[in-house]
Structure 1
Amino acid sequence: MPLPRRVLNLSLSDNSDGEVCLHESLRDESGSYICLSHCWGGVTALQTTRSNLQARKLGISRDDVPQTFRDAIFVTQGWAYNISGSTVFASYKMTSRTGRSKPLSCAQSNRNASLTVAATRCQDSTGALFPPFQRTVNSFDGAGVPITVALHVRSPHLDMQVTGSRYPLLERGWFFQERLLSRGVVHFGYDETFWECMTCSDCECQCLDMRGGSILDPPLKSILHWNSTKAPPISQQEVWHRLVGEHTDLSLTYPTDREIAIMGLVGEMRPYSKGLYLRGLWQDSIISDLAWMDSVPAPARSKRGPTWSWCNVDTCCHYLLNSVCAGDVKFLG
């Protein structure tokens, strides 16, 4: 797969200094790489600017790398060397502006990655992917015979509908797109990891599988990556309405990213649409696409986009019943 514009070359971190280096990819350079998704949080992570770009290419000390990145490097090296034994690359963003100025390029990076490592439980880049397990051990004295019982309390599972602040990354608008575009995502939780790909989702204790559910059920991921000659299980219109509803319910550091943060998904939807994309709506389903409602009335942001688009408000938006729209509404021009 084509490499992103800038990646971290992890092959150097076998040396005594434990360094990695920034690599600027050539136009036609390809390779395998793993992406990292994490919350920015209120902490200023290690940044690369024009003034230190050349120094970053020579090497970055592991001690200067935030804990989340450090753990991701460890994970990436272990997986990649066991699979291919080749040089390892990891996705690297130069600044927080990269994804905002080049949303389609960043979306393509997630789409082409071999895997996405998600720091789902971490509030910022200082969090560890491997927190201490919470275990409770009680000792009892039964009739003079010492008995030791080890108890492990199963933590609540990853659930898109009941996340609260327990899994901060799931509340972020940019990660919603990264998660759906990635071929596979490994979520690092509190006591176990969760796996999510195009066809299924599961966890270490297999409780998700026992419940017969998916983190997104029916999984939008499998529909977005649909490549069968058969029609998708739900319509393009329904898929888009679900995407908008879930995306607009998430948080963004910059409210102006409301439409930008979903443009990669727009690209995935184009093959299923016969019309143009019109600032949050599709030409061939424009009647029903116009029938959105905001959950809490809020003033429109006139400078952000057209007043008829959900891109222009900051609250969660949802759609009216398609049957009502199709039967009772006419588009006059």
Structure 2
Amino acid sequence: MEQDHGDSIQNVASIERIADRSQLKAKRHLVIQRCFRKPTALSLQLLQKWHKEYNAADGNLKLDDAIIQEVQIDTLDEDTVERCITELAGEVPVTNGFCGDCQHLFNNWPDLSDPEVKDPSTGLHWPGSGADWKHTVAQECHSLVLEAAARNGCRFCAFVMQVMRDAKVLEIFRKIEARLEYLDDKAMASLSVQNWGRNSSQLLWINFPGKVCDHCNYGIALEANFESAALEHSADTYDKQRDVLDIANSWIERCSENHEDCNNNDQDVLPSRLISIASDVPRLVLTKGWEMRPRYSTLSHRWGDENFLKLTEENQNSLLSMIPLQELPKTFRDAIHISRRLGLEYLWIDSLCIIQGNTEDWRREASLMSSVYGGSFINIAAASAVSVHEGCFLKTPHLVDGLRASITVSGGNLVRDFRSQSVYRMSTTDSHLATRAWAFQEKILPPRTIHFGNRGAFWECRTMTANEFLPDGFKRQLGSGLINQRTRQSSFEYWWDDVVRLYSTTDLTYSQDKLPALSGIVRQIHNERGGQYLAGMWREDDIEAQLCWKATNPRRRPSWRAPSWSWASIDGGVSYKVRQSGILDDIYAHVLDAEMTFLGQNPFGEVSGGRLRIACSGMLAARFDEGGTVKIESDERDINADAEYPVSPDCLDDEWRSGGSTVYLLPLLGGKTGSGRYVDEGKSIAEMMICGILLRESGGVAGQFCRIGMFQFWKDEIIYEGPDKKEKEYLEPFLKAFKQGAASVAESVCAEVVQNPDFPDERYVIYIV
């Protein structure tokens, strides 16, 4: 009887809580309804037509679907939105870091192991292995209520809001909500939870109002989603946010004591100058003759303008006595504060430790970057500041970029963490700082970096990633692997491909820094594994494949700073395909020798010239057409002289692109690409292609050429013409023309013909500069 009485009390309490939540939802609806007026200039008839089509659409709507794009024309009154959020804040109480809706969700987390859980899109039970990918709608939500709760301190609502902002869907959700509200449609957005295979991980996503995606790989679920991992019920939920520099100290302690890969620092060369910050007044110190090797921090930042205190020949003696703290820009002062809190007595900042305006000092110190940043105990990255005047501590108000929460599933308790799949990218590689070329190696060289920015503090070392919201690290390792030495050593060609692809998209204030800004990484690699470095390429690591780089977004050609065959000769992103066994096995040319000349003493920095000596089996001459294609020149009757072959220019403004210029196609690699595509009856065919470089003669020297572009021709390439697609055959006609005329063309323009070549089919030698 007592047990029954207890159950009755619990049932009554549960009913009262449900009633309270229903009343609260009704109040919220009244607030929203009162605040919103007609959100669009459309007539009521057109709005109702949209409404009918929206309701008829399936749950897997995408951002680019017409019914969603149509809403973009609406204009929301920001004052009205703000007033509504402010009023709603009074209706959304938050206790212990969560609003009532979120706490209810955590107390009643969906049990996807329950066989009674059905597919919300079909209403049927999940069949067989489909249960590993079960999903259900966990809770309804409204963007305005989410923001009101976030401002009141609800960590989960703040996190979901950030996911929506990152996915750039918040505004479109609000416009759809406003239309539905105006039409008195009570449909709401919702949160879906899906099993992620057979482990304990789950994926969550936000559905459009009144819609539910069938799967995480469809519709809006691809855009606005986040991950969750199950942890022991005793795991720390970080209910009380600690001071960020206390968290940083715990990261350093953990890394220093436990991470073998982060503590094998063998750098023995100190920077020429450091900033002593042990006393209240910082000062510049010279390290020449020091027998000790102190721990020091480095600063990675964007200059912005040049209106700040810097080291010059004129003020060096003064700064050796003292650096006036009040005259330093905010980012420098923040770096000093952070370094002191981390227990360090020395700091390195480029503009205060390299004499500005002194080319000799700059070249000498730039050549030491592998030691300066590689020997740093901790690197401080001012990730979001666009100038030295903005500082390090720029965290967005109400930001929550990950959290843990205690949840109850069918009476059992555990802890789940929640994090965005883009947390690493948003905190590091997509930051303002990451667009700066020099910052690229400043991220890779140090054993550990703390990124301070609008996403809070993010820790990255060779072993662990974490942020201030999930300070014990992420259950699944994040990051690109660029700073992981084991990845670099085990898969160097792929690692270097990532380096080139990412570094080439960064920006430089001074164009001539393209190679120097990468030289620290290059020196470190050369110290580890040796090899001949050729202006952004490695001779021993399949140089022919590296030569097939492609400009992903051609720009105007910059002033000369590297040979034309090097990707460092152009601005903008580049990419190339790494070759492996069975992939692009047909070799048409080999690099025989390479010559480089340098500016200064750094063999990994600025160059003054470079020439490749290449043996090839043939070349084809062609006429360039202004439409971006070439027509092969041939006297053979069965070669279609009108056939147009698409090529990829390196730059937009080269003179040869005016049309009618003679260019040469030098194939380097060909064969299977490692990919395939399906044809009739489920069969697949291997994708075949040939790639090479586009050349023009380099005035006056026989057999010498400059690179101006590249080409890659596929068999049965899919060509899109408007909404239609068709197959276009380029590979076979090219191979036919190559077989019939390439040898004679090469013989007529080459520097020499080798009688007994190392590679029997490659008798014709040319030079590329």
**1:64-91 Cα distance to aligned partner (Å, 9 max, x none):** 111111111111111116xxxxxx1111
CA distance in 2, matches of 1:161, 1:295: 25
Over aligned residue pairs, what C-alpha RMSD do you find?
2.9
CA contact (8 A) 2:504 2:574 kept: yes
Structure 2, unpaired ranges of 5+: 1-267, 400-418, 591-614, 616-764
> Are 1:22 and 2:284 matched, yes or no?
yes
**Compared CA separation, residues 326 and 246, structure 1 to 2 (3 A):** farther
CA contact (8 A) 1:2 1:28 kept: no
Alignment of 1:166-315 (within 5 A): 167-206=431-470, 209-210=473-474, 212-216=476-480, 219-223=481-485, 232-234=489-491, 236-270=492-526, 273=529, 275-284=531-540, 285-298=542-555, 300-301=557-558, 303-315=560-572
Bigger drift between 154-163 and 322-331 goes to 154-163
CA distance in 1, matches of 2:526, 2:424: 30
* Local SS of the residue matching 1:80: coil
Paired residue for 2:423? 157
Structure with the larger strand share: 2
**Compared CA separation, residues 287 and 27, structure 1 to 2 (3 A):** farther
CA contact (8 A) 2:505 2:572 kept: yes
> Are 1:67 and 2:67 matched, yes or no?
no
CA distance in 1, matches of 2:285, 2:315: 13
CA contact (8 A) 1:298 1:314 kept: yes
CA distance in 2, matches of 1:328, 1:225: 28
**Compared CA separation, residues 301 and 7, structure 1 to 2 (3 A):** same
CA distance in 2, matches of 1:316, 1:113: 29
> Which of 1 and 2 has higher RCO (CA within 8 Å, sep 6+)?
1
Paired letter, 1:307: S
* Local SS of the residue matching 1:11: coil
Paired residue for 1:38? 301
CA distance in 2, matches of 1:23, 1:104: 20
**1:15-35 Cα distance to aligned partner (Å, 9 max, x none):** xxxx21111112444211110
CA distance in 1, matches of 2:271, 2:559: 35
Paired residue for 1:78? 341
Paired letter, 2:512: T
**Compared CA separation, residues 267 and 9, structure 1 to 2 (3 A):** same
Bigger drift between 246-255 and 279-288 goes to 279-288
CA distance in 1, matches of 2:447, 2:585: 35
Paired letter, 1:287: E
Q: CA deviation at 1:160?
A: 6.3
**1:108-160 Cα distance to aligned partner (Å, 9 max, x none):** 10000111011111111111222366139xxxxxxxxxxxxxxxxx9973416
CA contact (8 A) 2:354 2:362 kept: no
Paired residue for 1:107? 370
CA contact (8 A) 1:193 1:203 kept: yes
Paired letter, 1:258: K
CA contact (8 A) 2:354 2:365 kept: no
CA distance in 1, matches of 2:426, 2:356: 25
* Local SS of the residue matching 2:305: coil
CA distance in 2, matches of 1:90, 1:209: 27
CA distance in 1, matches of 2:395, 2:482: 33
Greater Rg by CA: 2
The normalised TM-score by structure 2 is 0.36
CA contact (8 A) 1:290 1:309 kept: yes
Q: CA deviation at 1:291?
A: 1.4
**Compared CA separation, residues 208 and 252, structure 1 to 2 (3 A):** farther
**Compared CA separation, residues 159 and 233, structure 1 to 2 (3 A):** same
Paired residue for 1:146? none
CA distance in 2, matches of 1:110, 1:266: 13
- Alignment equivalent of 1:317, drawn from 574, 579, 588: 574
CA distance in 2, matches of 1:107, 1:302: 27
Q: CA deviation at 1:6?
A: 1.0
**Compared CA separation, residues 132 and 189, structure 1 to 2 (3 A):** closer
How many pairs were matched up?
A: 295
**Compared CA separation, residues 321 and 158, structure 1 to 2 (3 A):** closer
Q: CA deviation at 1:290?
A: 1.0
**Compared CA separation, residues 191 and 23, structure 1 to 2 (3 A):** same
CA distance in 2, matches of 1:68, 1:296: 33
CA distance in 1, matches of 2:562, 2:324: 44
CA distance in 2, matches of 1:278, 1:55: 42
CA contact (8 A) 1:198 1:225 kept: no
Paired letter, 2:286: E
Q: CA deviation at 1:190?
A: 2.1
Paired letter, 2:425: D
* Local SS of the residue matching 1:116: strand
Q: CA deviation at 1:100?
A: 5.4
> Are 1:118 and 2:118 matched, yes or no?
no
> Are 1:11 and 2:278 matched, yes or no?
yes
CA distance in 2, matches of 1:174, 1:32: 22
CA distance in 2, matches of 1:313, 1:325: 26
Q: CA deviation at 1:212?
A: 2.4
**Compared CA separation, residues 71 and 39, structure 1 to 2 (3 A):** same
* Local SS of the residue matching 2:331: helix
CA distance in 2, matches of 1:11, 1:207: 28
The normalised TM-score by structure 1 is 0.79
